[in-house]
Amino acid sequence: MTASVAVSADADLVAIATAAGNPAFEARRYADGLLYVEGVTQAALDAALADAGGPPVAPVPESLTPLQVRLALLAAGLLDDFEAVKATAPREMQLAADFATVVYRTDPMLLAFATQLGLTEQQVDDLFRAAAAAG
């Protein structure tokens, strides 16, 4: 079974695969930071990665629904702040925020709102991950 997880650039692949129960593994790391491992179950790999310095990091979704974004903002205690920032935004941005069917992680409007909310790139990534995980 092939398992794919995001790992840090300095991860010790041999130690991880050995801890996961298969020292004779095949792994390839790609530029996107994903590690593809052949011959190790996902559960064993997750457990070994957790022991090696933390749980695997889920990839950042490319897009979400507006409802997912708003629920993530609500859970983070930022929905009221977002609504206040949106109310002072140009009309086009208000309309886009209210009627978009998809919110892309790289959308300039999203980035503008995030900046006005004082969010870092990492915080936006974390919100996107949380929103995707919540469904």
* 57 domain residue, yes or no: no
pLDDT recorded at residue 18: 64
Question: Who has greater pLDDT, 82 or 32?
Answer: 82
My answer on whether 72 and 123 are in the same domain is yes
* Mean pLDDT score across all residues of the chain: 79
Confirm whether 58 is domain-assigned. no
| Domain extent for 115 | 63-134
Better-scored residue on pLDDT, 131 or 27: 131
Most confident of 9-13, 21-25, 73-77: 73-77
| Percent of all residues in the chain with a pLDDT value above 70, rounded to a whole number | 59
Q: How many domains does the chain have?
A: 2
- Show the tokens assigned to 37: 């491992």
- Give me the pLDDT at residue 59, please: 85
Q: How many CB atoms lie within 10 A of CB 12?
A: 13
Same domain, yes or no, for 83 and 107? yes
Coil, strand, or helix at residue 25?
coil
* Secondary element (H or E) of residue 93: helix 91-99
Report yes or no on 56 lying in a domain. no
**Residue 113 resides in a domain:** yes
Helix/strand/coil for 40: coil
Same domain, 70 and 39: no
